[in-house]
Amino acid sequence: MDAADGVLSAIQKLRKIVKAVRSSPQRCQTWAREIQVVQGSGRALDYRNMIDSFVLRNKDLRDFELSAAEWDSIKLVTSWLKSFRSATTEMSTTKVPMLSMVHAVFRGLQDDLKEILCNLPNSVSPNVKWGLTDAHWKLSDYYYKYDESPFYTWAARM
């Protein structure tokens, strides 16, 4: 199984676990109790251990048990998504984002994607690489549109 299949498999399994928890009031209560126990103990939340434990205790969810490699895939995708979360948070901090800020956020995301692409292991599927490259190109298109816009020039002069 290549890395893209691992990422897809891991995310699909995790999604099915979440759906199973949400579909049953009893499972929701069990899940809530587990979270309270972890929070009440003063330890940092470790959702991986909680999810693994929950899946092992529910026979019908055992097909969705995540391997160490699948958890590594989830960790990798999560690190990529942090850049987008940061950009979204930054764009949401003001009621009216300034053009210069939008320009800087797009550029920052583009730089993050470039770094992610440069640091990808060779085992990563071409589909994952193409998806990340497409995202980089889309940001490049937006960046170019803003750069060519007379509004950006006018905003810079004010």
The DSSP code sequence of 6-42 is HHHHHHHHHHHHHHHHHH-HHHHHHHHHHHHHHHHTT
Closest CA to 74 of 1, 8, 136: 8
Q: Tell me, yes or no, whether 87 lies in a domain.
A: no
Q: Tell me, yes or no, whether 134 lies in a domain.
A: yes
Question: Which one is predicted more confidently, 135 or 150?
Answer: 135
95 contacts 85 by C-beta, under 8 angstroms: no
Q: Tell me, yes or no, whether 75 lies in a domain.
A: no
**Has residue 45 got a pLDDT over 50?**
no
Which tokens go with 88?
């979204």
Euclidean distance between CA atoms 46 and 145, whole angstroms? 43
pLDDT tens digits, one per residue of 56-96: 888 888 898 988 888 888 778 778 888 888 888 888 887 77
pTM of model > 0.75 = no
Which tokens go with 126?
């071409």
16 lies in the same domain as 64: yes
Q: What range does the domain containing 137 cover?
A: 94-157
Q: What is the pLDDT of residue 115?
A: 92
Closest CA to 71 of 16, 9, 113: 9
50 contacts 33 by C-beta, under 8 angstroms: no
Q: Tell me, yes or no, whether 59 lies in a domain.
A: yes
98 lies in the same domain as 59: no
53 lies in the same domain as 99: no
